[in-house]
Amino acid sequence: MKKEPFVTKEQLEEIVKEYPTPFHLYDEKGLRRNMKALKEAFAWNKGYKEYFAVKATPNPFLINILKEYGCGCDCSSYTELMLSEAIGVTGEDIMFSSNDTPAEEFAYAEKLGAIINLDDITHIDFLEQTIGHIPETISCRYNPGGLFKISNDIMDNPGDSKYGMTTEQLFESFKILKEKGAKEFGIHAFLASNTVTNDYYPMLAKILFELAVKLQMETGVHIKFINLSGGIGIPYTPDQEPNDIRMIGDGVRRVYEEVLTPAGMGDVAIYTELGRFMMGPYGCLVTKAIHEKHTHKEYVGVDACAVNLMRPAMYGAYHHITVMGKEDIPCDHKYDIAGSLCENNDKFAIDRMLPKIDKGDLLVIHDTGAHGFSMGYNYNGKLKSAELLLKEDGTVQLIRRAETPADYFATFDCFDIGKKLLEE
């Protein structure tokens, strides 16, 4: 089975004349189409808002496209808050969901007027000591523990997760926060990652909606929003059926009407924090075959490496690969597709059946639009690539230049050796 790239071989051949491989390429048309579908899926909820998970793809040009559709930013660090402020996303358009949070990050989030989502009950006092008060609108992250199952399938293990509060801690936190002046409350939970099933969000919603009813009854707080966070995944393998966001939205609506509306809580807003679903399929890593090696295995060496896409090296994650121009040629060659790092796990594919690859062939590594560029690093002194946007009209825009050695050595600029390196 195969995946269709959103870019043609002819387009790529023109692009590489100006921008050398490797680079990440994003699809504006697909991104906008997906954003419209998400808005339609949750249009039934008056207060619905998507807070894009900045960590997934922290590029202001891309986030600005989402901002056109009313998206806010889900931030988890100081620099993500800086990026949001720089593009004009402030106030309650920011959801600050972090853990093990330094004081200066809470202070900056408060300065921007962000909604702060507390990860732990001990953070209540820490936040109050840091900013001098408890905000009127506050959220808490919930972790029920145990396993999260859909039917008999284990989707994830919240009990092993470092995030969120226990049920008892959540009830106690709401009571404390109310006593300290909080007036509007939110509940947040992330119980499973990258689910490719339309059932995840409705099941999560049912858990949180029932919890919200109990919380409001027992503590007397007003639940303003319920944040279903992320977890809606994408089909990395070509045999997987993609999620149907409209079906997911309708499933959440049915649970809302079953649980919240009869409890007099039909004013609760639904929030989401989708990174992978929003951006993942609309990015790819373009790389060129530069070497072949015939030893105990057949290797194709490309000019990208784990610096450009860490997921396969880090978790053995599957990313589909298209050899451009050879889509209809039989996949009768078994290759490891490798990068140049001094690490044996620097492979984009292991024992992958592909068409015969020749030096100079362009390879598209699919579904890198989220947690692709953003997880990059500089091991072996390798430099991060450029990011490009394939616009709706077919033109290409540079939205992040490739790093240079000057970027790599920039933090030595206060030393003589650094000045020498930066002069070269």
Question: Please, what sign has the CA dihedral across residues 39, 45, 47, 48?
Answer: negative
Contact between 165 and 143 (Cβ < 8 Å) = yes
Q: Is the dihedral of CA 289, 294, 295, 297 positive or negative?
A: positive
Going by the DSSP 8-state scheme, the letter that residue 249 receives in this structure is H
Active site annotation includes 414:
no
Residues 6+ apart with CB under 8 A from 43: none
- Taking CA atoms, 227 is separated from 25, 190, 274, in Å, by 30, 9, 11
> Exactly one of 73, 284, 342, 414 is catalytic; which is it?
342
**DSSP codes of every residue in 162-179:** S-SB-HHHHHHHHHHHHH
Q: Which residue has the tokens 């720089």?
A: 86
Residue 153's H or E segment, with its range, is strand 153-156
What is the 8-class DSSP label of residue 7?
S
Tell me how far apart the alpha carbons of residues 307 and 379 are, in angstroms, rounded to a whole number: 7
3-state secondary structure of 390: strand
Q: Are 134 and 173 in contact (CB under 8 A)?
A: no
Q: Which of helix, strand or coil describes residue 294?
A: strand
Residues with a catalytic annotation lie at 342
